[in-house]
Chains A and B, each alone.
Chain A
Amino acid sequence: MLEFVIGHFNNVTYIILMMIGFHAMTGKTNLVKKVVGMNIFQWSIILFIVSLAAKRGGTIPIVLGSHDHGGSPVIRAAQYVNPLPHVLMLTAIVVGLATTGVALSLLLRIYKRYGTLEEDELFEKIETSE
């Protein structure tokens, strides 16, 4: 069991984080906490995909030796950390930022209109306002 957890450390971490986020999204009544949960949910996946590129003793993927000797550049693909997951997740982080922005601006408008961000109070106010 312990070996499995250590062997799949990144998987276990992301699933725990994801479940924390999921709990906040579904279980909490405060809308801001729901947004925080949504963020944790997204970040856990981003963390997982970045972890796919991790490599023990890996180095940054920059071609060495092409400047000084004029010879053919040394490419040691096996040593490089795969840059693609990082690049992809950079985009995903930007997307997550935009989603958070939209969600928070919606919360601002909800608060201005109904004066509360607690779900149960909010539904009461909607019922009475219609």
Chain B
Amino acid sequence: MNIHQSAMPVLIVVIPLLTAFVLPLVELWRRSLVFPLALAALVASFGSSILVAREILTNGPVEYYMGGWEPPWGIAFRIDHLSALILLLLGSITLLVGIYSKRSILKELPEKEAPFYSVYLLLVAGLTGMVATADMFNLYVFLEISSLASYGLVSLGRGRAIVSAFRYVILGTVGAAFYLLGVGYLYAVTGSLNMADLALILPPLYDSNAVLVGFAFLVIGIAIKMALFPMHAWLPGAYSNAPSAVSALIAATTTKVAAYVLVRVIFFVFEPRFSIDTIPVTTLLSWMGAIAMLLGSVMAIAQSDLKRMLAYSSVAQIGYIVLGVGLANAMGFTGGILHLVNHAFMKGGLFLVAGAIVYRTGHREIKNFRFLSVRMPWTAATFTVCALAMIGIPPTGGFFSKLYLILGAIAAGQWVFVAVILSSSVLALTYLVNVIRYMYFPPPAAEASPEDTTAGTLIRDEAPVAMLAPMLILAVGIILLGLFNGEIVSLFIDPSIPERLLR
């Protein structure tokens, strides 16, 4: 197959990477230029993603060889339909959160704009690099860039954020080290690091112990990074204590990219027949996903703090993605990837709402959200749309991805998973509707508190436009993802389903 070569894939990564280093210098010269420059870098990176995606849809996968060294000797960037979809997702989320972050960072971290956006862009560079690269070791380096950036961003929060960030450092490093060890074993056996090359060399070696051990370490390392239950211990603290904009950014992107890497490794570096038959890792993954869906949702119900509740709900939603991938059929794969995209939008939107509420009212406890629909009508409306998508109400995106997942579970003959998907949705209904109830129709206050006000006495105090606009765009995006889910599936997901899964 004649593969198209272009320098565009590398621009997606290099623009934010270089801008990250320029920002501290720009701050010395003129502080007011920091934010526009950071935003310009995000726009340029997103624009390159769009151009690459257009090229892929007409000409097929695009490659770029670093320094002109062809794989398997050199490092290659390769973008196919699946990675183009994830890059578009990353581009849009990071741009929207970037716009939103201006006001909330001014309030939460005054005087620290330049370092914040510097690290923000490093995170974007790391994540896009993980998606674009076709080299296993290069992926490790980008994984560490994005992890280091997210440790830094999490530690900027208030309260016990530093302690959460420290725990995240320890566990994240173990995850990355396991991934590195897996790469080491594969290199020892094959002598290659290029993904496509590995896929060619590995099949005769599937019985080798070193390949089995390497594969196991890769999967465990990635599972820690994507906070798959029972390796989710770092997630709730990191998400709930980080600054608002950071919570939205890392909740919507880091675990999703790790999920993408998991798909890449189990279905593209290894052949599906290895992951399904030789060691039934897909079966294991789908059961772990199912447990994550139930326990994550139950833990979310128990939380009284909105951001903590959303964090536990993320653990459950990761379960949906992994379950879909683990079902190992075309419907489940489609559902898993589609849910990955939808969940990035939904959870990003919900964390942005949580940030806006904290920005205006200073409250995080759900019981303090009484009559929020009067004070911040648009914010409450965004929350409702995102919550309905999380539960899976048509025509939002969440409905269609869950539909695909259920169809996939039926096609696999796994009725248990159908029950798990439905009951986890009911649990999501329980914790999300509780918040909506406090916003719109609060129960009468049991005890008198200074915050106790009735709808009539409240004045409207909506979040600033710069924060509201990204939230509303995400809410509209969720509905559009639902309405145009057929196009997304046929353009991006269908061409990337591994052949084995179609049978």
B-binding residues in A (CB < 8 A): 25, 31, 34, 38, 41-42, 45, 48-49, 52, 84-85, 88, 91-92, 95, 98-99, 102-103, 106-107, 109-110, 113, 122, 126, 130
A115 to nearest B CB, angstroms?
13
Q: Interface majority SS on B: helix, strand, loop or mixed?
A: helix
When C-beta atoms are compared, the residue in chain A nearest to B217 turns out to be A45
Known A-B contacts A25-B174, A41-B173, A42-B173; A85 and B187 likewise in contact (beta carbons under 8 Å): yes
Q: For window 171-216 of chain B, which residues contact chain A by CB distance below 8 Å?
A: 173-174, 176-177, 180-181, 184, 187-188
Query: Which of B110-118, B159-167, B315-323, B487-495 binds A?
Result: B159-167
Known A-B contacts A106-B166, A107-B166; A126 and B160 likewise in contact (beta carbons under 8 Å): yes
Roughly how many angstroms separate A106 CA and B176 CA in the complex, as a whole number? 19
Q: Which residues in A have their C-beta under 8 angstroms from that of B177? A: 41-42, 45
When C-beta atoms are compared, the residue in chain B nearest to A52 turns out to be B188
Q: Which residues in A have their C-beta under 8 angstroms from that of B148? A: 98-99, 102
The reply to whether the CB of B155 lies closer than 8 angstroms to some CB of chain A is: yes
Roughly how many angstroms separate A114 CA and B166 CA in the complex, as a whole number? 14
Roughly how many angstroms separate A130 CA and B160 CA in the complex, as a whole number? 9
Q: Which residues in A have their C-beta under 8 angstroms from that of B180? A: 45, 49, 92
Of the listed residues A25, A88, A106, the one surrounded by the most CB atoms of chain B closer than 10 A to its CB is A106
The reply to whether the CB of B144 lies closer than 8 angstroms to some CB of chain A is: yes
Decide: B187 and A52 in contact? CB cutoff 8 A. Answer: yes
Roughly how many angstroms separate A49 CA and B184 CA in the complex, as a whole number? 6
The reply to whether the CB of B170 lies closer than 8 angstroms to some CB of chain A is: yes
| 8 Å CB contact of A106 from B140, B144, B165 | B165
A28 to nearest B CB, angstroms?
11
When C-beta atoms are compared, the residue in chain A nearest to B178 turns out to be A45
Q: Which residues in A have their C-beta under 8 angstroms from that of B166? A: 31, 103, 106-107, 110
Known A-B contacts A45-B184, A52-B187, A92-B180; A103 and B169 likewise in contact (beta carbons under 8 Å): yes
Roughly how many angstroms separate A24 CA and B214 CA in the complex, as a whole number? 24
Of the listed residues A25, A34, A92, A122, the one surrounded by the most CB atoms of chain B closer than 10 A to its CB is A92
Q: Which residues in A have their C-beta under 8 angstroms from that of B181? A: 45, 48-49
Known A-B contacts A49-B184, A85-B187, A103-B169; A95 and B162 likewise in contact (beta carbons under 8 Å): no
Roughly how many angstroms separate A84 CA and B181 CA in the complex, as a whole number? 15
A-B Cβ contacts below 8 A, count: 70
Roughly how many angstroms separate A92 CA and B173 CA in the complex, as a whole number? 12
A2 to nearest B CB, angstroms?
20
Decide: A41 and B163 in contact? CB cutoff 8 A. Answer: no
- In the complex, besides A52-B184, A95-B176, 10 extra interface pairs with C-beta distance below 8 angstroms are A38-B173, A38-B174, A45-B184, A48-B184, A102-B148, A102-B169, A103-B170, A106-B165, A106-B166, A107-B166
When C-beta atoms are compared, the residue in chain B nearest to A25 turns out to be B170
B188 to nearest A CB, angstroms?
5
Decide: B162 and A109 in contact? CB cutoff 8 A. Answer: yes
| 8 Å CB contact of B170 from A34, A88, A110, A122 | A34
Known A-B contacts A41-B177, A42-B173; A88 and B137 likewise in contact (beta carbons under 8 Å): yes
Q: Which residues in A have their C-beta under 8 angstroms from that of B236? A: none
Known A-B contacts A25-B170, A95-B141; A102 and B152 likewise in contact (beta carbons under 8 Å): yes
Q: How extensive is the interface on chain B, given as a class?
A: 20 to 34
Decide: B165 and A41 in contact? CB cutoff 8 A. Answer: no
The reply to whether the CB of B151 lies closer than 8 angstroms to some CB of chain A is: yes
B115 to nearest A CB, angstroms?
12
When C-beta atoms are compared, the residue in chain A nearest to B152 turns out to be A102
Decide: B162 and A106 in contact? CB cutoff 8 A. Answer: yes
Of the listed residues A49, A107, A113, the one surrounded by the most CB atoms of chain B closer than 10 A to its CB is A49
B251 to nearest A CB, angstroms?
20
Q: Which residues in B have their C-beta under 8 angstroms from that of A110? A: 162-163, 166
| 8 Å CB contact of A99 from B144, B155, B163, B187 | B144
26 cross-chain CB contacts under 8 A: A25-B170, A25-B174, A38-B169, A41-B174, A42-B177, A45-B184, A48-B181, A48-B184, A49-B181, A49-B184, A52-B184, A52-B187, A85-B187, A88-B137, A91-B137, A91-B141, A98-B148, A99-B144, A99-B169, A102-B148, A102-B152, A106-B166, A109-B162, A110-B162, A113-B162, A122-B163
Roughly how many angstroms separate A42 CA and B147 CA in the complex, as a whole number? 15
Decide: B151 and A130 in contact? CB cutoff 8 A. Answer: no
When C-beta atoms are compared, the residue in chain A nearest to B159 turns out to be A130
When C-beta atoms are compared, the residue in chain B nearest to A87 turns out to be B137
A125 to nearest B CB, angstroms?
10
Q: Which residues in B have their C-beta under 8 angstroms from that of A34? A: 170
Roughly how many angstroms separate A17 CA and B27 CA in the complex, as a whole number? 44
When C-beta atoms are compared, the residue in chain B nearest to A122 turns out to be B163
A8 to nearest B CB, angstroms?
11
When C-beta atoms are compared, the residue in chain A nearest to B184 turns out to be A49
Roughly how many angstroms separate A95 CA and B169 CA in the complex, as a whole number? 13
When C-beta atoms are compared, the residue in chain B nearest to A88 turns out to be B137
Known A-B contacts A41-B173, A52-B188; A126 and B163 likewise in contact (beta carbons under 8 Å): yes
